[in-house]
């Protein structure tokens, strides 16, 4: 009679032979399993090849805020390389622009706006990764001790087992505990794992197992194999090929670690079935590769088209003007955004494609910068010409040889109009100087041409009465029309004595107060009877305001371009959109007033 721990010599030999055969029959399949695991690697990096700098920094921040931040070392490093690459390229772009503008390379200095955040993220992750590594080492050391204790328990189970021990329950507990034990260092795992399976085989070969126990063990493992095969069959129809390959790799790991051994009649049969399903799933990898390749080729073609269009914009067929370059700048910015949003290209072409894009972009910027440098040169020439006119006007503004001086100043004014643009920063300054010199001359001319100073005194008296009338204006109904009438009357009065000229400043100050009280803009007033000089001054002021407003609107719209999909619904951008709308409305009013002046309405 045999017990659970005391089998006959024949049964023991039989069991040893079966286990030995099991080992032999499954040696080759295990090699196949390893091969399958190697084949089931990821086809692509988890980081998008064309992720933007802003998104890369956002993903880096997300990683360091995760509970186990230091664990995701590979993804963080890939993102770090991408972000570093972008920052380096953009700094190089700035350097090219700096040098193209005629500056010495050694004087270049530029801090990328994202550099500080990038450095902070890298430093924080380094600290978290170091902490994670220390924790891992401690955890792995504990797991190593735990697994070595499991092996000792397994060894004792077949060498020093006492009668009455439930071997089936004990081996189940050991195998389950081994499966759930944590990771150990890679340098320890292979020896540790081999040691465990050695003693597990020894258990099956040398321990006095009875037939009932062996059948239960075989049945349990066969059931596991059948579950694995069933799940593998489901993966044949998994629409996401990469997901199917990843899970198949996990199933092979389960097969090798938890589904051995089984009865001899099922060993080859189950393995062949599982291997055949695995091969079918692996065949689908070619579909994934083909789809990825097709998509990457399409992306490559699209990116080359973008590069070609930027190159075309850099080489206009006709001589470009300011409007051309402003439109081209906006178009290139759109193209640059499209390029960065387009997915990855074939790996062999990736670096060359990126370099072609950067080279073409820099060529565009160089050509554009050269245009504006030449434009600045012509504006400087115009400035020099106008400065000469100013000097001539100043030299002759007190000239009383009217037959010579009057035609001279008229010629100076005509020449001024013919000269082109000057640098914007100088426009108002030189115009004021030229106008003051001309006004000085013509005022002197009128004064010396028997203009009665008595009229000037009378003018002062009339203006004083009008000023007093203006001071009584309130915000009641009809006040705006009254203000319009007062300003028209004021404009129709001539000069006042030089020592009384401060009345003009007092009138303008009072006028602004009354306009503010009635909540209207001075440009909205309907003025009549303005002289030609007054109209010219008013038109110049409006043009200057239009230019400033347009510059402010462009600046605000450019700021919005830094946001992805900007809209009024975004509370951070609401005030900006409202400001743009208000400025555009004001701009339209200014343009209508200017048109009215020019048209003589």
Q: Tell me the DSSP string of 310-329.
A: HHHHHS-SS---HHHHHHHH
> What is the percent of the chain where pLDDT is above 70?
84
> What is the structure's pLDDT at 3?
30
Residue 326 lies in a domain: no
User: Of 265, 361, 349, 266, nearest to 307 (Cα)?
Assistant: 361
Same domain for 76 and 157: yes
Q: Identify whether 105 is part of a domain.
A: no
pLDDT in the model for residue 450: 52
Q: Are residues 578 and 465 in the same domain?
A: no
Q: Is 579 contained in some domain? A: yes
Residue 522 confidence (pLDDT): 67
* pLDDT, mean over the chain: 78
**Do residues 62 and 192 share a domain?**
yes
Domain count, the chain: 3
Distance between CA 25 and CA 20 in Å, rounded?
9
**Residue 141 shares a structural domain with residue 58:** yes
Residue pLDDT, tens place only, 13-61: 333 333 333 333 333 344 444 444 444 444 444 555 567 888 888 888 8
Residue 15 CB neighbours (<10 A)? 21
Per-residue pLDDT for 406 more than 80?
yes
For residues 564-583, give the mean pLDDT.
Answer: 78
Confidence bin at 227 (pLDDT 50/70/90):
very high
124 and 178, same domain (yes or no): yes
Question: So what's the pLDDT on residue 149?
Answer: 92
- Is 488 part of any domain? yes
Looking up tokens 């063990």, which residue turns up?
217
- Phi, psi (5° rounding) for residue 196? -60, -50
59 and 202 part of one domain? yes
Mean pLDDT of 555-577: 76
| Top-ranked range on mean pLDDT: pick from 47-56, 62-71, 323-332, 525-534 | 323-332
Burial of 351 (0-12, 13-18, 19+ CB in 10 A): exposed
Joined tokens for residue 194: 């081999």
| DSSP 8-state secondary structure symbol assigned to residue 384 | H
**Same-domain pairing of 594 and 525:** no
- Structure tokens of 477? 């109904």
Residue 26, pLDDT score: 36
Residues 438 and 557 in one domain: no
- Domain-ending residue, one of 209, 230, 254: 209
Q: Are residues 514 and 588 in the same domain?
A: no
Domain that holds residue 542: 530-600
In a domain, 127, yes or no: yes
Helices (H), 101-114: none
Structural domain ending residue among the three candidates 190, 209, 228 = 209
- 316 in a structural domain: no
Identify whether residues 90 and 161 lie together within a single domain.
Answer: yes
Pairwise pLDDT comparison (523 vs 101), residue with the higher score: 101
* Structural tokens at position 419: 């000269």
Domain-embedded: residue 402: no
Residue 46 within a domain:
no
Q: What is the pTM of this model?
A: 0.41
Answer yes or no: do 446 and 576 share one domain: no
Task: Mark whether 128 and 164 lie in a shared domain.
Answer: yes
Which one of 494, 529, 564 terminates a domain?
A: 529
């Amino acid at each position: 009679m045999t017990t659970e721990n005391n089998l006959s010599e024949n049964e023991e030999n039989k069991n040893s032979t079966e286990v030995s055969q099991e080992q032999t029959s499954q040696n080759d399949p295990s090699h196949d399993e390893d091969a399958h695991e190697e084949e089931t690697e990821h086809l692509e990096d988890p980081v998008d090849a064309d992720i933007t700098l802003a998104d890369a920094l956002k993903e880096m921040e997300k990683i360091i805020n995760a509970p186990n931040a230091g664990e995701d070392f590979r993804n963080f490093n890939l993102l770090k390389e991408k972000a570093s690459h972008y920052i380096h390229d953009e700094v190089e772009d700035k350097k090219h622009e700096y040098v193209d503008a005629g500056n010495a390379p050694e004087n270049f200095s530029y801090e990328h706006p994202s550099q500080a955040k990038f450095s902070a993220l890298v430093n924080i992750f380094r600290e978290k990764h170091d902490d994670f590594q220390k924790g891992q080492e401690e955890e792995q050391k504990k797991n190593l001790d735990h697994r070595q204790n499991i092996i000792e328990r397994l060894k004792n189970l077949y060498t020093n087992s006492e009668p009455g021990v439930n071997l089936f329950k004990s081996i189940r507990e050991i195998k389950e505990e081994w499966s759930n034990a944590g990771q150990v260092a890679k340098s320890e795992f292979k020896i540790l794992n081999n040691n465990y399976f050695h003693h597990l085989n020894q258990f099956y070969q040398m321990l006095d197992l009875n037939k009932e126990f062996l059948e239960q063990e075989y049945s349990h493992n066969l059931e596991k194999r059948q579950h694995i095969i069933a799940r593998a069959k489901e993966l044949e129809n998994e629409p996401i090929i990469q997901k199917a390959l990843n899970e198949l790799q996990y199933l092979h790991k389960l097969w090798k670690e938890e589904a051995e051994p089984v009865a001899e009649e099922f060993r080859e049969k189950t393995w062949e079935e599982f291997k055949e399903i695995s091969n079918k799933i692996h065949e689908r990898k070619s579909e994934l590769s083909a789809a990825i390749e097709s998509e990457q080729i399409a992306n490559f073609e699209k990116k080359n088209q973008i590069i070609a269009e930027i190159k075309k914009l850099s080489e206009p067929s006709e001589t470009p003007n300011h409007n051309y370059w402003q439109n081209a700048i906006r178009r290139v910015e759109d193209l640059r955004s499209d390029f960065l949003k387009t997915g990855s290209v074939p790996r062999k072409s990736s670096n060359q494609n990126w370099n072609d894009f950067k080279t073409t972009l820099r060529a565009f910027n160089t050509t554009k910068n050269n245009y504006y440098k030449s434009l600045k040169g012509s504006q400087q020439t115009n400035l020099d010409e106008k400065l000469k006119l100013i000097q001539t006007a100043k030299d002759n503004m007190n000239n009383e040889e009217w037959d010579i001086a009057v035609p001279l100043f008229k010629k100076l004014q005509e020449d001024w109009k013919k000269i082109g643009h000057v640098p914007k920063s100088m426009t108002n300054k030189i115009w004021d100087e030229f106008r003051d010199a001309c006004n000085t001359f013509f005022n002197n001319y009128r004064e010396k041409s028997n203009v009665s100073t008595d009229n000037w005194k009378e003018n002062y008296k009339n203006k004083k009465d009008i000023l007093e009338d203006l001071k009584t204006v309130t915000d009641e109904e009809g006040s705006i029309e009254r203000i319009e009438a007062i300003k028209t009357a004021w404009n129709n009065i001539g000069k006042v004595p030089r020592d009384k000229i401060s009345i003009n400043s007092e009138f303008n100050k009072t006028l602004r107060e009354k306009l503010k009280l009635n909540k209207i803009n001075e440009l909205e007033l309907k003025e009549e009877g303005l002289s030609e000089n007054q109209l010219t001054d008013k038109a110049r002021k409006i043009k200057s305001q239009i230019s400033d407003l347009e510059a402010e609107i462009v600046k605000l719209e450019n700021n919005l371009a830094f946001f992805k999909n900007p809209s009024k619904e975004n509370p951070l951008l609401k005030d900006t959109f409202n400001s743009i709308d208000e400025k555009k409305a004001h701009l339209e009013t200014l343009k209508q007033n200017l048109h009215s002046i020019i048209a003589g309405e």
